[in-house]
Structure 1
Amino acid sequence: MTFPLPRPVLDAEAGSGPGAFGTLPDWDLSDLYTAPDAPEYAADMAWLETECAAFAAAYEGKLAGLDAPAMAECIRRYEAIETTAGRIMSYAGLRYYQNTVDATRAKLMADAQDRITTFTTPLVFFSLEFNRIDDARYEAVFADPALARYKPVFDRMRAMKPYQLSDELEKFLHDQSVVGAAAWNRLFDETTAGLEFTIDGEVMSLEAATTLLSDHDRAKREAAAHELARVFTAHLKIFSRVHNSLAKEKEIEDRWRKMPTPQTARHLSNDVEPEVVAALRDAVVAAYPRLSHRYYALKARWLGLEKLQIWDRNAPLPTEAPRTIKWDEAQATVMGAYAAFAPEMAEIARPFFEKGWIDAGVKPGKAPGAFAHPTVTTVHPYVMLNYLGKPRDVMTLAHELGHGVHQVLAAGQGEMLSQTPLTLAETASVFGEMLTFRALLDAAKTPAERKALLAGKVEDMINTVVRQIAFYDFECKLHAARASGELTPEDINALWMSVQAESLGPAFEFMPGYETFWAYIPHFVHSPFYVYAYAFGDGLVNALYAAYAGGLPEFQAKYFDMLKAGGSKHHKELLAPFGLDASDPAFWQKGLDMIAGFIDELEAMEA
């Protein structure tokens, strides 16, 4: 049993207040706990210690003999433990990510993680012993109506059976985790949160510095790129050590478990077949010339450049006027797009804005990036943004709010069934982006405005599909290379450049220092091989949106049913009502064709 922290968040007590973007919302974490010293927090921690010991005493060595009613009670108690531990870690983790440089917050999270790991060590037997239940006995017990709904969870658990270690070794790995991957994760988070970049005399955070890469002023973009490279290079030994250690740790565990590839564990947790991921990856790589290579050649002409530099990749179009979008407008845009699709979707999203479920401002110590964390099914999700008033920030809001809506709908499945495999977890987020984009495109008043919107969407899709598959290839190469020995920073730099040159294409010239830009990407550290889920989600949503635009009967009802299912069904079963099948190689071409079609339209505007 593990309780991963939410991916990077800021201080709910330090309000954003009115500013250039209007009044930005802050989190109210009191729905989890009112304070670190709240009696409820202490009570839950004490209950967890007692209940974990009682659960182990009641069930260890006895799972195979339980009848259906007894097994149902066992699962109910296990789920209650997961809920309480998840609530504690959600609070400690979210509070930490609000200000990663605050020592008291770091201590609360580390202490919570350490205590919960200790409390739950006696529960390691559960999955190991469960996987030793005879297949016939397992099928007979889970045929009972009280247990049948849980079967997908335990089917996925039993998929790990061939890779299971001895009970003693599994307990050792569980105990050791707090000073293993979790410790390297913390070092990475605290290092990136503490980075300072000086650009045009202003000291700024990683979030602010990377945002300048999409500034209208090319000189500012160039200055930001060089300063990012300078700071990454100065810290490259730390980042290299983090990646070397995590990759080696994974290689050791995979070897002991006899995992056939470094990617196997991710595919199993995602409940997706390796051949489906391979088909996605191969389709995207084959499409590089007609997608990214073609688009960036077009962009170079728009910018009047022979070659694009890396600071031109996300540059606005020359005809696109600089614009700051206030928070109220961003909210209205996204909520309007959601409501036009289905009023129910907007109603589910409304409390995020009204009840302190979003933390939007950029603040000192706050972790970079954005995410939606589901916490536990008895509370509600929280969304983190670093809102800077850019058009892409509006799309990020649409994206993370989509996650939030999905998490709210899936909560009805309960703690064990609500979590969607990563391959489908990006569906609602990317669909929310597509709804918002289509609403903006329909409202465009001039060809120049339509062109800017189309170009922005193509760039977002390339970042989601091409860039993420390039990231996946980088990770595959890194883990393969690390298996042969320690990697120097220069070795990792070379792996990074090999995939960047291939994916971005001949329109680019790469500045010295860009080879270090792998260093700040959190997914490689927090969730190895996570990144293909973004491309999976984008391709899936493009196919879904084509079905919606084509007038598929009762699309909205089918869509909500899919989100409500959470992790209770396989992707084949979830996509069947839409006439889609991700195992069909032609499936991925539908999504890639949509991106190519947008590029076709942009090229036609040049004629």
Structure 2
Amino acid sequence: MEKMGYQKNWNLDKIFLGGSKSNQFLDYIKRLEVLGRDLERCVKSYTTSLATNEAANLRKLVEYIGEIRVNLSQANSFITCLHSQNTKDQDAATLRGKVAQIESNFEKKLSKVKIILANTKQDVWESLIETKELEDYRFVLNEWRENTDKHFSDEEKNLISDLMADGYHAWGHFYNALVSSINVNVQVDGKEKNLSVGQAINLRSHPNEEVRKESHNALESIGEEKEELFAKILNHIAGFRLQVYKKSGVKSVLEAPLKDNRMKEETLNAMWSVISKYKKPFSNYLNRKAEMMGDSSMKAYNFWAPVTNSNQKIEYDEAAILITEHFSQFGTELEGFVKQAFHEAWIEAEDRANKSAVPFCAAFPLTGESRVFMTFGGTFLNVLTLVHELGHAFHNYAMKSVNGVNKRYPMSVAETASTFSEMIIFDAAMQKAKSKEDKLIILDEKLKCSVMNFMNIHSRFLFEQRFYEERKEGIVSSARLTQLMRDAIHEAYDESLEQPSTYSWVWTPHYYITQSPFYNFPYTFGYFFALGIFAKAKEKGNEFEKDYLNLLRDSGSMTVEDLVMKHLGEDITSEEFWEKGMEICVKDAEEFLKLTSLDDIE
């Protein structure tokens, strides 16, 4: 394939011309304000409940709400991109405040709509929801009605909404700004470099152990130095959330995230139960890899180390060609999509200072595009990160024709398309591997994914669950947070990780995401779900792409249990489903051990 010379900086001007000083975007914000006022007038026209003859009007209202959501998503994505590409952009922070106020007002109006639904008599509701007019929105409307909190008055809800915009969510934004402002000094290739947190984290896969170790220690030192500040942020976020839960009558800290993920507790318990049973194969993998590096056990800073001494660097152009080629083997729509992403500069990949540390994919539903953000350092891990985020973008692509209220899929499903994309790359690379060394490199990367989902994510889940239980009794000290993190890692890794990153509670942004508590188990769910989907894809070949697109389109209007049953025919409340996915991963661990049993890799 001919080398193209792909651009490493994304094109945001196609979305709104002029960046954070865009007059076009300021005009767009004014349009958002008008949409919000129109919605307010529309909501005021309703009484406290619905009548049986209001199906057509309700449909119009729902579609208008969907339109506003799409417009808000467009605005928020643009601001997120601006701030991430330059964390010192103060104009972007100002724009965020303006849009946050509009979004807060919108949520207040949406809350009133949900209350109207909740106040509608059951017999009237049953008659309404079965009408042809509301057929497309049945799931979401039922969800709004059932999940509406009646413990708060309208005045209290408005107050909470204001506090969330100016206080609660502000803590999350403050965390991101604080992390982005921190730099660490690390010796790389004989030179001392002043690096952002994102750049320092990228060194975890550096071929030189001393660089990996120094980067790890530098991040731990900064974490220790700033632990009090980060502990305050985390405690404030959790404290606000718990107060809302208490007022709402929510007893379990998992109740809200399970609802948000449209998942039953039985499903979550079945998944973690299977994972807990199968720690040993992955502990064996970690121990064997440590032995290959001359250690008795796996040191945390060596986990991401390459399994061989190969110093092969992957150029960005090579990565683009590799991804396009392998995606083309799955289907024509995926191939066309990824070509568009690279050719039209949807990706911000440059390795430079003042960038955010967190890779992400931002949806721009009005223009039917996405933007992918990462720092590309030339490793296979970077390729996987890029593939992961492109998977999110393909999910957005699949949802283009879906109405605004049905576009919002839960985080549990959000990680499915991204993980599925990784599977495509792994499978294609394994088929092309000619030497034992090549196979080991691929197996190592696959097993890193398994360890991340079955051990690392499990440790995050255990930490967050235990932290919230202790936070109910009062402020949790920074020292206690570090101890909770140490204990969670010890348990989740089956005692197979030495010198763990006990300050990972500082550097893990997921704990500070105010929109989504327990932003951990959805990753593991998505990983398992993707294994099941990929198995189906292997059976059907290119014919499966259409089914895959339909699955993604359904992801915003079904529970995860119903989604898996419809498209895979599996009951995910049963451990049997999770056992099937686990078998695939265990085989990878067994193959790795087999290939290295008598090997003396240089």
Q: TM-score, normalised by structure 2?
A: 0.92
Measured against aligned partners, the alpha-carbon deviations of 1:201-252 in whole angstroms (never above 9, x if no partner) come to: 2100111111112111111111111111111111111110011111111110
Distance in 2, Cα, partners of 1:51 & 1:125: 14
Change in Cα spacing, 1:377 to 1:470, as seen in structure 2 (3 Å) is farther
Distance in 1, Cα, partners of 2:88 & 2:591: 47
Check the 8 A contact 2:370/2:393 in 1, yes or no: yes
Distance in 2, Cα, partners of 1:117 & 1:572: 31
Distance in 2, Cα, partners of 1:534 & 1:142: 33
Query: 229, 250, 258: which one pairs with 2:241?
Result: 250
| Residue 284 of structure 2 corresponds to residue 294 of structure 1 | yes
Query: 570, 575, 586: which one pairs with 1:596?
Result: 586
Query: 346, 356, 364: which one pairs with 1:375?
Result: 364
| Residue 407 of structure 2 corresponds to residue 421 of structure 1 | no
Q: Give 1:465's aligned residue.
A: 454
Change in Cα spacing, 1:159 to 1:381, as seen in structure 2 (3 Å) is farther
Percent identity, aligned pairs only, is 21
Secondary structure of residue in 2 paired with 1:412: coil
Change in Cα spacing, 1:119 to 1:530, as seen in structure 2 (3 Å) is closer
Uncovered stretches (5+) of structure 1, i.e. residues with no partner: 1-20
Change in Cα spacing, 1:96 to 1:169, as seen in structure 2 (3 Å) is same
Q: Give 1:210's aligned residue.
A: 201
| Residue 172 of structure 2 corresponds to residue 149 of structure 1 | no
Distance in 2, Cα, partners of 1:88 & 1:548: 35
Secondary structure of residue in 1 paired with 2:238: helix
Q: Give 1:73's aligned residue.
A: 60
| Residue 231 of structure 2 corresponds to residue 222 of structure 1 | no
| Residue 77 of structure 2 corresponds to residue 90 of structure 1 | yes
Q: Give 1:18's aligned residue.
A: none
Query: What is the CA-CA distance between 1:281 and the residue it aligns to?
Result: 1.6
Measured against aligned partners, the alpha-carbon deviations of 1:121-158 in whole angstroms (never above 9, x if no partner) come to: 34431112222222222221122222111011112222
Query: 16, 31, 45: which one pairs with 1:33?
Result: 16
Measured against aligned partners, the alpha-carbon deviations of 1:455-490 in whole angstroms (never above 9, x if no partner) come to: 111112211332112211111011011111111100
Change in Cα spacing, 1:123 to 1:273, as seen in structure 2 (3 Å) is closer
Q: Give 2:534's aligned residue.
A: 545
Distance in 2, Cα, partners of 1:68 & 1:151: 11
Mapping for residues 176-575 of structure 1, pairs under 5 Å: 176-200=163-187, 201-291=192-282, 293-317=283-307, 319-510=308-499, 514-526=501-513, 527-551=516-540, 554-575=543-564
Change in Cα spacing, 1:371 to 1:123, as seen in structure 2 (3 Å) is same
Change in Cα spacing, 1:163 to 1:56, as seen in structure 2 (3 Å) is closer
Check the 8 A contact 1:369/1:385 in 2, yes or no: yes
Uncovered stretches (5+) of structure 2, i.e. residues with no partner: none
Change in Cα spacing, 1:22 to 1:304, as seen in structure 2 (3 Å) is farther
Change in Cα spacing, 1:136 to 1:381, as seen in structure 2 (3 Å) is farther
Mapping for residues 567-586 of structure 1, pairs under 5 Å: 567-576=556-565, 577-586=567-576
Check the 8 A contact 1:285/1:466 in 2, yes or no: no
Secondary structure of residue in 1 paired with 2:13: helix
Secondary structure of residue in 2 paired with 1:536: helix
Query: What is the CA-CA distance between 1:492 and the residue it aligns to?
Result: 0.3
Check the 8 A contact 1:338/1:345 in 2, yes or no: yes
Distance in 2, Cα, partners of 1:462 & 1:258: 36
Q: Give 2:98's aligned residue.
A: 111
Query: 45, 49, 55: which one pairs with 1:58?
Result: 45
Query: What is the CA-CA distance between 1:64 and the residue it aligns to?
Result: 4.5
Change in Cα spacing, 1:603 to 1:496, as seen in structure 2 (3 Å) is same
Query: What is the CA-CA distance between 1:198 and the residue it aligns to?
Result: 0.2
- The one-letter code matched in structure 1 to 2:317 is D
Measured against aligned partners, the alpha-carbon deviations of 1:283-305 in whole angstroms (never above 9, x if no partner) come to: 212222232x1111111111121
Check the 8 A contact 1:159/1:268 in 2, yes or no: no
Check the 8 A contact 2:287/2:296 in 1, yes or no: no
- The one-letter code matched in structure 1 to 2:159 is F
Distance in 1, Cα, partners of 2:211 & 2:77: 38
Secondary structure of residue in 1 paired with 2:312: coil
Change in Cα spacing, 1:331 to 1:163, as seen in structure 2 (3 Å) is farther
Check the 8 A contact 1:156/1:271 in 2, yes or no: no
Query: What is the CA-CA distance between 1:42 and the residue it aligns to?
Result: 4.5
CA RMSD of aligned residues (A): 2.1
Change in Cα spacing, 1:377 to 1:294, as seen in structure 2 (3 Å) is farther
Check the 8 A contact 1:24/1:327 in 2, yes or no: no
Distance in 2, Cα, partners of 1:423 & 1:127: 24
Distance in 2, Cα, partners of 1:225 & 1:83: 40
- The one-letter code matched in structure 2 to 1:37 is N
Secondary structure of residue in 2 paired with 1:197: strand
Query: What is the CA-CA distance between 1:181 and the residue it aligns to?
Result: 1.9
Distance in 2, Cα, partners of 1:328 & 1:552: 28
Q: Give 1:48's aligned residue.
A: 35
Change in Cα spacing, 1:325 to 1:158, as seen in structure 2 (3 Å) is same
Change in Cα spacing, 1:385 to 1:502, as seen in structure 2 (3 Å) is same
Check the 8 A contact 1:478/1:495 in 2, yes or no: yes
Secondary structure of residue in 2 paired with 1:341: coil
Query: What is the CA-CA distance between 1:60 and the residue it aligns to?
Result: 5.3
Report the number of matched residues: 583
Distance in 2, Cα, partners of 1:123 & 1:580: 35
Query: What is the CA-CA distance between 1:49 and the residue it aligns to?
Result: 4.2
Distance in 2, Cα, partners of 1:117 & 1:383: 26
Moved more, 594-603 or 541-550: 541-550
Moved more, 343-352 or 222-231: 343-352
